[in-house]
Amino acid sequence: MRSRRLVGGLAALATIGLFTACSAPADDAASSGELPTGQTISVWTFGATGLEDSMEAWAEETGNTIEIKTSEFDPHHEQLLTALASGAVPDVALVETAYSSLFKPSAKYFTDLREYGAEDIEGDFLDWRWAQGVADDGTVIGLPTDVGGMALAYRTDLFEAAGLPSDSDGVEGLWSSWEEFVAVGEQYTETTGEPFLDDAGVFFQTVYNQGDEKFYSADGSELIYESNPQVQKAWDLATSAAPISANLAAFSPEWNTGMANGDYAVQLAPAWMLNYIQGQAPDTAGLWNVVTLPEGGGNWGGSQMTVPKEAANPALAYDMLSTILSPENQLEVFTEFGNFPSTPELYEDPALTGFTSPFFSDAPVGLIYTESVQALEPVYEGPKERAILREFGLGIDRVESGDETPAEAWQSTLDAVALEVE
């Protein structure tokens, strides 16, 4: 009886084996150099990458399907962490720059994209953006998406109503420094009784991102958040702007509503923010304009698209990434959505530099963001970058809501950061 059961079991195993063999054309195809079709590529993102349509187009062309899961910013990275630890991973996952230094030491959890020829396209991308996806041991964990060059978007109609100039030359002439910018904001709020800015936290991040050092020293050896004059400056400006801020937490539903309603006049805008504005406030087309920032450019955001180690279809995933992040496609994404390319060969291309956006009153956004990005130097971001930034954001929130004075909040923020980094 026992032996009969054994035979039965073997037969069942053999059957399973047969089925498995039948349903595994993917491996055969890969070994013959062709990419498999009919596969589902799962992609985890946060926010709007501007790449969704490109992914769909790639899938259609190659006979595969795409499944995109979009989460909020921090939860997305938390889920990715759990997924990496458990092995139940997507084929492609976005990792934002502030988080990349947290994930890079765990490079063995990602597919080394050099296996699929990533080195061949390294030259297409900005050096420092490329380096954000390279671990210490040389593993390429991800390909760069966009660059968050920064500018300033404002509502022409609201500026006009407040008696301010509304054309771009006039607005740029209003201020040559951030202090003057805040002064104009105070004047605006006094005249209209309405807030000038969306969120002092966004203001902090903008100024903080203009520095050549952030919370870590340039060589990454020490934490300088307490002594870095750029951080101090960003803090002072942001907290001084509390009275002119609508105190809407960026990326919250209230913020979206406020943006669509015109509850505030100025939106500090990394290039990808243009995508947000067009998505959240489609009825405000033509009411915005974009000008350069006071005190120079900077980078806010941008991501790497990674392929986790246990991904089901790494070869297909890489094929998709190298297609949708190619210079040609990044140009298309920029003209359609606003996410700015990370491929410098385009910065000479009139199709980019000459691009104007009708949504933003035909502002020369191509030129504005190109200039913002071209002067950029790489800035070191450490493993606790995001955690520290979050505490600074909370500190500014405490000032905005009147819980604490700027001096109290500075001290409580330093205390909170100390607990995070110890």
Partner 1 sequence: MATPALVAESSALRARGPRGRRRSLTPYLYIAPFFLVFGAFGAFPLAYTAFISLFDWNPIGEQAFIGFDNYVDLVADPRFWNAAWNTVVIWVLSTVPQLAIALVLAAVLNQALLRFRTGFRMAVLVPNITSVLAVGIIFTQLFGRDYGMINTVIEFFGGQRIDWVAGSFSSQFAVSTMVMWRWTGYNTLIYLAAMQSIPRALYESAEIDGAGPIRKFLTITIPQVRPTIIFTVIVSTIGGLQVFAEPLVFGGQAGVTGGQSRQFQTLALFLYEQGFRNLEFGYASAIAWALFLIIVVLTIINLALSSRIASEK
Residue numbers at the binding site for partner 1 (CB under 8 A): 72, 74, 78, 81-82, 84-85, 102-103, 105-106, 109, 248-254, 257-258, 387, 390, 394-395, 397-398, 401, 403-404, 412, 419-420
Beta bridge partners of 153: 267, 290
CB nearer to partner 1: pick between 77 and 129? 77
CB nearer to partner 1: pick between 103 and 360? 103
Closest approach of partner 1 to the CB of residue 32, in Å: 34
CB nearer to partner 1: pick between 124 and 391? 391
Closest approach of partner 1 to the CB of residue 29, in Å: 31
CB nearer to partner 1: pick between 205 and 330? 205
Closest approach of partner 1 to the CB of residue 288, in Å: 22
Closest approach of partner 1 to the CB of residue 8, in Å: 22
Closest approach of partner 1 to the CB of residue 139, in Å: 14
CB nearer to partner 1: pick between 161 and 249? 249
CB nearer to partner 1: pick between 115 and 415? 415
Cα torsion angle, 47, 49, 53, 57, sign: negative
CB nearer to partner 1: pick between 82 and 227? 82
Closest approach of partner 1 to the CB of residue 238, in Å: 14
CB nearer to partner 1: pick between 60 and 415? 415
92-96 and 65-71 as β-strands: parallel, antiparallel, unpaired? unpaired
Closest approach of partner 1 to the CB of residue 417, in Å: 12
Phi-psi region of 8 (alpha: psi -120 to 50; beta: other; left: phi over 0): alpha
Closest approach of partner 1 to the CB of residue 279, in Å: 18
- Indicate the length of the chain as a whole number: 422
Give φ, ψ of 166 to 5 degrees.
-120, -10
Closest approach of partner 1 to the CB of residue 256, in Å: 11
CB nearer to partner 1: pick between 160 and 408? 408
Tokens 């491996």 locate to 27
